[in-house]
Structure formats: C-alpha cells, structure tokens
Amino acid sequence: MYVAVKGGEQAIDNAHKLLAEDRRGNPEHPELTLEQISEQMAYAVDRVMTEGSLYDRELAALAIKQARGDLVEAIFLLRAYRTTLPRLAVTEAIKTGEMAVERRISATYKDLPGGQILGPTFDYTHRLLDFKLAAEGEAPAPAERVDSAPDATMPRVSDFLNNEDLIELELPDSDETEVPDLTRAPLDFPADRATRLQNLARGDEGFLMALGYSTQRGYGRTHPFAGEIRMGAVAVEVVPEELGFAIQIGEITVTECEMVNQFKGSATSLPQFTRGYGLGFGHCERKTMAMALVDRSLRAQELGEDADAPAQDPEFVLYHSDNVEASGFVQHLKLPHYVDFQSELETVRTLRSEQMATLTKKAAE
C-alpha cells in the first residue's frame, strides 16, 4: 500500500536538532569561543568577511562557528544578515597609500622607498607539520619588529612608473559620483570596472584563483608582475552632510594587490604597462592576486586585445563568480524534481517505443 510522503515538517525540525547537536560535537571538549575563532582562525574570518561583503570579525567568527567551519556556508550566513542592515552612509574611498603597513612586497624592484616588509607570511615557511602545536603549548616568543617612523610614507610602486609615464593612469570614471552597489541593483552588461571589481571582491576565491591560473597557462595571457602587495590598517572616513568634512569612523585591515601587466601599445597609444587590481578585507593575498589577474583579463576588450579565453569573458566570469549563488543552485538539485522527471520519463518511454517499432519494422522487411 502506498504511503504518501508526509511528515516533512517533523522531519525538518528533527534534522535541525540533529544539526545543532552535531555542530557542538563531543560536549566533553570545551566549546569554541568567538574570540578563539577570530584570533586563531583569522584567515578564515578574513575570507568570510571579504566574500560576505561585511567587515565584522565577531559576526564572521559567529558565522564560521554556526557553519561548523564550512566557509561558503558561513559567507552565506553573513550575507543573509548583511541584507537586513540599513545603509547609513557611503564612505570616502580608503587611502591605501596612507596604510599602516604590516606587510609590503614588490616583485618588480629589489629595493624601493619604504623597503620590502615581509610581515607575517607563510611564504618562506617549510610546510612541515609542527607537532609542537598539537600539544597545547605556550605562546611563542614575540617577534622583533622594526617600527617604521610613524610619518614614513610608503609610495606605491605604480607611482614610480607613473612618474615616467610608463604605466597607465588610474582615473575615476568621469563624473560618476554614485558607486554601484551589486547588492542593491542587478548586474548589467556591459559592466563598468567598478562593478566588475565589486563582483570579483565578493567572488569565490577558488573560482578566481582557477581563472587567474588559466591566464598564466595561456588562456588569455596577461604578462603579469606582482608590482606591489601591501597589507595593513587603513582609516575609514565619512563626510556627514551637516559637517561637510571627513571624519574617521574606524579602521579596517585590507590587502591590496597591484599587478603590472605588459601592453604592446596600439595605433593610438605608446607601449605602456597596464594594471590589474585586487583588494580584500583582512589578510587575503591569494584572493587579491587572483582578483588582480582576472581584473586585468576582463579589460582585454577595452585594450583592443583578443578576447577569447574564459577569463576574458565578462559574462562568463561575473555571472559565475558568486559562491552563494553557485552553491544554492548546484545544491538545489537535491530538491524534489519528480514532476519534471515524470515528464521526462514519459518522453523517453515514448521515444524508445517509437524507435523500437521502426527498428522492428525494418528488421521484418
């Protein structure tokens, strides 16, 4: 006897209870605190803030805890919360040239004003599992820091090239005061660079990395050099209408990557270096480097280059970069599809029987 598939409501409630229990794990072990996550899983927090488009370490840590360490799920949680927040003001553009730099490297110059500052990086570590970490140890001895003079300026590498007119100028879009907001208005094509960069900043790190990598392997080569990568704190400022001047409302840590790319020049312009740009919250070098590669690739058409590789196709890149959209749609295949499937069953059966009849008829002849 057929039993109707009932009881969805009860099943969902039970699944939620089970999830909560599983999330906590064995209660004999102490529960993770948000401070532990934001201090010791800092890069996870940075990624969730960047792709979640919300700078809030505590909420990002909460999202990671709730998502049991599934970062794409945590990004989704943070985004869903973010939608409910009011937009109070638009900040001034952050000035990364005035950053309190913690790390700053350039691959194009051996030394440069302000110096190369390695800062905290995995780059030259030997990837050997450190079993000392397994035994909960003491805090490591503090590292020696060289405090640069507080007023020491650290000019951008691109500024040196600018002085010689060797690199294109980076000018704001003409007369455009309104910054596009992808979370308020749908993506439209052709998408301007500000929109593209916004999309890439929110985009999935893995997707951008694969796309950036593809350009390095020949699918839309861009001849990149890591002109400069810098990471540190910058001031966030707003201009309240009643004051008319900028006041600082806080400080955020960002990573910025400027790629310097070869450009052969055209009939109307001299050979010159061009730029790819990447920016993300916290310390997220891999993400910003990939972003900069893809940003430059997406400019192929504008610069009159061949544009036939996936990374050079704005519709392909921008429509598929968002992991919250992608994750939802990929996983929606879990939802019931029996009505569609029933329709397909009927079609396949009919097609088969028709073809079978034709074959039998042919065989008989």
Q: Interface residues with another protein (CB under 8 A)?
A: 1-2, 4-9, 11-12, 76, 79-80, 82-84, 86, 183-190, 315, 319, 324-325, 327-332, 335-340, 342-347, 350-351, 354
User: φ and ψ at 263, to 5 degrees?
Assistant: -145, 125
Q: Return the structure tokens found at 306.
A: 């061949």
Q: Which is nearer to another protein, 165 or 192 (CB)?
A: 192
What six digits make up the tokens of 225? 């050099």
Radius of gyration of the chain (CA): 26
Q: Which is nearer to another protein, 183 or 269 (CB)?
A: 183
Residue number with CB closer to another protein (99 or 324): 324
Find the shortest distance in angstroms from Cβ 327 to another protein. Answer: 7
The two structure tokens encoding residue 203: 């985009």
Beta bridge partners of 275: 260
- CB-wise, 79 or 104, nearer to another protein? 79
Token pair for residue 189?
């094509």
The residue written with tokens 């910054």 in the block is 179
Residue among 71 and 293 whose Cβ is closer to another protein:
71
Task: Specify the residue, 11 or 249, whose C-beta has the smaller distance to another protein.
Answer: 11
CA distance 326 to 334: 14
Which of residues 270 and 345 has its CB atom nearest to another protein in the complex?
A: 345
Per the document, the length of the chain is 365
Which contiguous run of DSSP H or E holds residue 228? strand 224-238
- CA separation for the pair 355, 285 (Å, rounded): 58
Q: Nearest distance from residue 222's CB to another protein, in Å?
A: 23
Q: Decide: 180 and 194 in contact? Cβ < 8 Å.
A: yes
Which amino acid would we find at residue 116? Q
**CB closer to another protein out of 220 and 227:** 220
Residue type for 301, please? Q
C-alpha count within 13 angstroms, C-beta hemisphere, residue 307:
18
Report in angstroms how near the CB of residue 134 gets to another protein at its nearest: 36
Give the nearest distance from C-beta 199 to another protein in angstroms.
13
Minimum gap (Å) between residue 339 Cβ and another protein: 5
- Contacts of 260-269 with C-beta under 8 Å, sequence gap 24+, read 260/108, 260/157, 260/158, 260/161, 260/167, 260/224, 260/225, 260/226, 260/227, 261/222, 261/223, 261/224, 261/225, 261/296, 262/222, 262/223, 263/168, 263/303, 266/303, 266/304
Cβ pair 274, 225 in contact under 8 A: no
Give 243 or 339: the residue with its C-beta nearer to another protein. 339
In the bound complex, what is the minimum distance in angstroms from residue 362's beta carbon to another protein?
15
Shortest distance, position 183 Cβ to another protein, whole Å:
7
CB of 241 to another protein, least distance (A): 20
Nearer to another protein by Cβ, of 41 and 62: the residue is 62
**Tokens encoding 80:** 């869903």
Residue 171: how many CB atoms within 10 A of its CB? 6
Q: Shortest approach of another protein to residue 192 CB, angstroms?
A: 14
Min dist CB 12 to another protein, Å, is: 6
Both ends of the chain: CA-CA distance in Å? Answer: 46
The residues that bridge with 260 in the sheet, in sequence order, are: 225, 275
